[in-house]
Amino acid sequence: MSAALEFRDVHVIYPRSSGRAASAAVQKALTRLDAGEESAVVSAEEAVTVAVRAASLSIAEGEICVMMGLSGSGKSTLLRAANGLAQVTRGSVLLGAGGPSLDVARCDAASLAAARRHRVSMVFQHAALLPWRTRPRVRDRRAVAVDGRTLFGTRSADPQPPAG
Ligand SMILES: Nc1ncnc2c1ncn2[C@@H]1O[C@H](COP(=O)(O)OP(=O)(O)OP(=O)(O)O)[C@@H](O)[C@H]1O
Ligand SMILES: [Mg+2]
């Protein structure tokens, strides 16, 4: 049985420059990573951020998978690669669930839109869905916490987005 989702040797590298300089920096970074250099060193010296490096992972239909890692280690970026929100620099993201296998990393826009509509979904880490409704307009904003433990009448600090 094919996987519901499979990441194959996925790299996501964000350049800190634009245009030609950016693609040159990304290529140079890939070459150095392939040579075994540390991501942090490559990131610092090539004006890029190596967000995901050579990630390979296969998730079966119905499997619950938990990704754990330090803040900034690339968890959200890898998840965003599953629906094309993060552009994959190199590697494949094979979506098997809900239809024929689709490489999200290099499919056309119409296929990606259809996949997002019918086959893959995501709950965002920071973005509140309707922020103007989740933070009621009250005089004393300290009275409202919007971190999932919403309590009225507490004297909590100003609302913060959920962490983690
Ligand atoms: N759009 C972007 N442009 C540039 N750099 C980015 C972008 N998104 C993420 N990064 C960088 O990529 C790295 C990985 O970030 P990511 O958000 O994937 O980490 P994370 O493991 O989800 O962290 P956390 O546990 O804090 O949520 C970080 O250095 C981050 O600053
Ligand atoms: Mg994250």
* Exposed / middle / buried, residue 53 (Cβ in 10 Å: 0-12, 13-18, 19+): buried
Indicate whether 29 and 52 sit together in one domain: yes
Amino acid present at 118: H
What does the CA dihedral 96, 98, 103, 105 come to, rounded to 10 degrees?
A: -120
Indicate whether 151 and 101 sit together in one domain: no
Ligand nearest to the CA of 81: 1
Query: 11 CB under 6 A from ligand 1?
Result: no
For ligand 1, what atom is nearest to the CA of residue 12? Answer: 12
Indicate whether 85 and 150 sit together in one domain: no
Indicate whether 87 and 138 sit together in one domain: no
Domain of 38, CATH number, reads 3.40.50.300
Query: 163 CB under 6 A from ligand 1?
Result: no
Question: Of 93, 99, 116, nearest to 61 (Cα)?
Answer: 99
Ligand nearest to the CA of 49: 1
Indicate whether 39 and 112 sit together in one domain: yes
Three-state SS at 66: coil
Q: Classify residue 76: in a domain, yes or no.
A: yes
Per-residue confidence (pLDDT) for residue 99, from 0 to 100: 87
Amino acid present at 7: F
Indicate whether 79 and 11 sit together in one domain: yes
Indicate whether 146 and 114 sit together in one domain: no
Distance of CA 79 from the midpoint of ligand 2 (Å):
9
Q: Classify residue 162: in a domain, yes or no.
A: no
Q: How far is CA 97 from its chain centroid?
A: 19
What is the C-alpha separation between 20 and 85, in angstroms, rounded? 22
pLDDT tens per residue, the chain (164 residues)?
Answer: 579 999 999 999 999 998 889 999 999 999 999 999 999 999 999 999 999 999 999 999 999 999 999 999 999 999 999 999 999 999 999 999 988 899 999 999 999 999 999 999 888 777 656 666 665 555 545 544 444 444 443 344 455 555 54
Q: Classify residue 22: in a domain, yes or no.
A: yes
Neighbours of 73 (CB within 10 A): 15
Q: Classify residue 134: in a domain, yes or no.
A: yes
Query: 49 CB under 6 A from ligand 1?
Result: yes
The domain total for the chain is 2
What is the pTM assigned to this prediction? 0.80
Indicate whether 148 and 73 sit together in one domain: no
Indicate whether 36 and 74 sit together in one domain: yes
Q: Which domain holds residue 111?
A: 5-118
Q: Which two tokens stand for residue 143?
A: 């009275």
Write the CB contacts of 162 (distance below 8 Å, at least 6 apart in sequence).
Answer: 125, 126, 147, 148
Q: Classify residue 88: in a domain, yes or no.
A: yes
Question: Of 155, 82, 151, nearest to 123 (Cα)?
Answer: 82
